[in-house]
Amino acid sequence: MSSTETPPRFSNLNKESETNQTQSQNQKPTRVSGLGLSRRNSLLENNALAKWVNDILMKKMDEYAYVRSMMALIIITYFLGNNLGIYISLYIFFTCYLFALRIIRAWVKRWLLYLIEFCYYGCFSVVIYVAVFPQSRIVWSTVYICSTGVLTWAAYIFANQARMDSSDHLISSFIHSFPMITVWAIRWKSILYNSSFAPKDKFQYNLLDFSDLTFENDEHFYYLFTFPFIFWGIWAVYYYFSTNHLWSVYIKNPKYCSGLGDFKSSTLKTLPKLYGDHDYKLTEKYLFTHFTLFSLATPVAILCYYNFYFNTFFLISTLVFLSWNAGRASKRSMERLLKKIDNGMNVDKSEKKEE
């Protein structure tokens, strides 16, 4: 689970850069080969390239976010309803594209620590499955439970918004919804596409056959319980090592945003009696909470695996939730804009009366 919702905005970059230069003026800068740029303290520090990316590149990307998102949505939904193989190819492309965009933005905003959260780990596992292991029952069971389980629950927990005018919100919504859409289409392809899935056709993938799968005769039923938890355990070990050893200096630094920081500032303060001291075994508390949510989401995912109608209802409910949140956010933004315009008009009228 990852707090992939938009963290605090990147503000006053010029002043921050001057402060960083003043604080580290006695430190020896390291050169970045090929760029002619100097970085101080770490590869996460801001510099001229980061300023250009934030002020120019990201600004241009946001200006055309609505056009890009609408075109992508039309294309991907069209092939979702017509050709599963082409849809999977598009899913791989868009996942890599959006991950690259998120990494660039995270670099300039000091959000890179979010990238070790489970949401990115789980979302990209679907790409690995369809591209490398399409016939593996173990990998399939793992990615299905993770995508339909805790990954989708995160969309509700973090109140994601499918706002077409915001790259950050769209990427977060994609990470928490399209993995479930993809495994839903693969799981029920015999019902949705009503045709044989020819693996040798162009843009097709030699996926597993689920035509005869029922709850009673599924000899791999235990795969749905065991391997997703093993997968989660591997991530938990990596996360614990990263936050306590590999990236511990940045985790403790308040100027770098992270999932642990969000957990400390939100969940721990909401339930102080349950968690006690905020700083005592913070990573263990976070992983325990994450494991609890993962365990609660798994039975729901298994039910989706065996019931087409429940799976479809859960998917549609998630999409409606994302759209509803986006509508509410847009409404609030419009109300603030209208209020600002009204206040400006009132000020102008009062000035004219005084004259």
pLDDT at 212: 64
In a domain, 24, yes or no: no
Four-point Cα dihedral 314, 318, 324, 326, nearest 10? -170
Least confident piece of the model among 79-88, 142-151, 179-188, 260-269: 260-269
pLDDT band at 150 (very low <50, low <70, confident <90, very high): very high
pLDDT at 51: 74
What is the C-alpha to C-alpha distance for residues 176 and 155, in angstroms, rounded to an integer? 6
2 burial via Cβ count (<10 Å: 0-12, 13-18, 19+): buried
Strand partners, 50: none
Tens digit of each residue's pLDDT (9 = 90 or more) over 217-267: 566 788 888 999 999 999 999 999 998 888 888 888 878 888 888 888 777
Tens digit of each residue's pLDDT (9 = 90 or more) over 318-337: 999 999 988 888 888 788 88
Structural tokens at position 317: 């409910």
Higher local confidence (pLDDT), 281 or 354 = 281
Cα angle at 256 between 254 and 262, to 5 degrees? Answer: 75
pLDDT at 174: 92
| Predicted TM-score (pTM) above 0.85 | no
pLDDT band at 152 (very low <50, low <70, confident <90, very high): very high
Higher local confidence (pLDDT), 116 or 2 = 116
Indicate whether 17 pLDDT > 80.
Answer: no
What is the C-alpha to C-alpha distance for residues 144 and 317, in angstroms, rounded to an integer? 18
Number of structural domains found in the chain: 1
pLDDT at 140: 94
What is the C-alpha to C-alpha distance for residues 4 and 291, in angstroms, rounded to an integer? 18
pLDDT band at 29 (very low <50, low <70, confident <90, very high): very low
In a domain, 285, yes or no: yes
What is the C-alpha to C-alpha distance for residues 27 and 149, in angstroms, rounded to an integer? 47
Most confidently modeled range among 6-10, 53-57, 227-231: 227-231
Residue carrying the six token digits 């933004």? 333
Higher local confidence (pLDDT), 27 or 209 = 209
pLDDT at 349: 60
Higher local confidence (pLDDT), 228 or 278 = 228
What percentage of residues in the chain have a pLDDT greater than 90?
34
In a domain, 282, yes or no: yes
Higher local confidence (pLDDT), 166 or 128 = 128
pLDDT at 14: 44
Residue carrying the six token digits 């989660």? 232
Q: What is the mean pLDDT of residues 92-106?
A: 90
Q: SS3 of 182, please?
A: helix
Higher local confidence (pLDDT), 303 or 42 = 303
Other Cβ atoms within 10 Å of 301 Cβ, number: 25
What percentage of residues in the chain have a pLDDT greater than 70?
77
In a domain, 176, yes or no: yes
Strand partners, 39: 30
Indicate whether 70 pLDDT > 70.
Answer: yes
Range of the domain at 301: 39-354
pLDDT at 312: 95
CA 352 vs CA 342, 349, 355: distances in Å: 15, 5, 5
Q: What is the mean pLDDT of residues 292-320?
A: 94
φ, ψ (nearest 5 deg) of residue 324: -65, -45
In a domain, 105, yes or no: yes
Indicate whether 34 pLDDT > 50.
Answer: no
Higher local confidence (pLDDT), 206 or 114 = 114
What is the C-alpha to C-alpha distance for residues 124 and 120, in angstroms, rounded to an integer? 6
What is the C-alpha to C-alpha distance for residues 83 and 193, in angstroms, rounded to an integer? 8
In a domain, 18, yes or no: no
Tens digit of each residue's pLDDT (9 = 90 or more) over 169-225: 888 999 999 999 999 999 998 888 865 455 444 456 778 877 666 666 566 788 888
What is the C-alpha to C-alpha distance for residues 253 and 47, in angstroms, rounded to an integer? 19
pLDDT at 64: 80
Contacts of 272 (CB under 8 A, 6+ apart): none
Structural tokens at position 318: 């998630």
Residue carrying the six token digits 């940045």? 250
In a domain, 3, yes or no: no
Structural tokens at position 99: 């991950």
Contacts of 182 (CB under 8 A, 6+ apart): 87, 88, 91, 126, 130, 147
In a domain, 145, yes or no: yes
